[in-house]
Amino acid sequence: MTTTRSRKLFVNIAVKDLKRSVEFFTKLGFTFNPHFTDETATCMIVSEEAYFMLLVESKFKEFTKRQICDTSTATEGLYCLSCESRDEVDQMVKTAVENGGSRAMPAMDLGFMYNGSFYDIDGHHWEVMWMDPAAVQK
């Protein structure tokens, strides 16, 4: 039997305007670690185990030899975050759209799971979902 150990997750994404991105995600309720923040990058805290590094494009390019994804025409990934209720899902999508983001896909309601989605101001695709705790335990 393999034992799963806890690991921290750091997802790096390119942003065009760091200050504007910080303002956008702050309005969605996220905070940032000042120890990993400068004029080229910041560490957005999702939980004690998960973080998003928002890197200006020039900084992001230091970590890859490949082209940065053009998020206006392609999807580099789907970043899914859990919410505590259906209302929180709807509110996060609404807040994102009101602050420069746009709707990605229609909401999906499977009864035990509900999700919404949006594109952030840099075109990254975010999913937000709620799952009935009883369904998770099965």
Mean pLDDT by 10 residues, the chain (138 residues): 82 98 98 97 97 98 95 95 96 98 97 96 97 79
Between CA 89 and CA 84, with CA 33 as vertex, the angle to 5 degrees is: 20
Say whether both 54 and 92 belong to one domain: no
Spatial separation of the C-alpha atoms in residues 101 and 118, rounded to whole Å: 7
Report the CATH number that the domain containing residue 29 is assigned in CATH: 3.10.180.10
Helices (H), 1-138: 18-27, 57-60, 86-98, 133-137
Work out how many domains the chain is built from and give that number.
Answer: 2
Domain with 52 in it: 7-60
pLDDT score recorded for residue 1: 58
Say whether both 46 and 81 belong to one domain: no
Say whether both 137 and 79 belong to one domain: yes
pLDDT score recorded for residue 135: 78
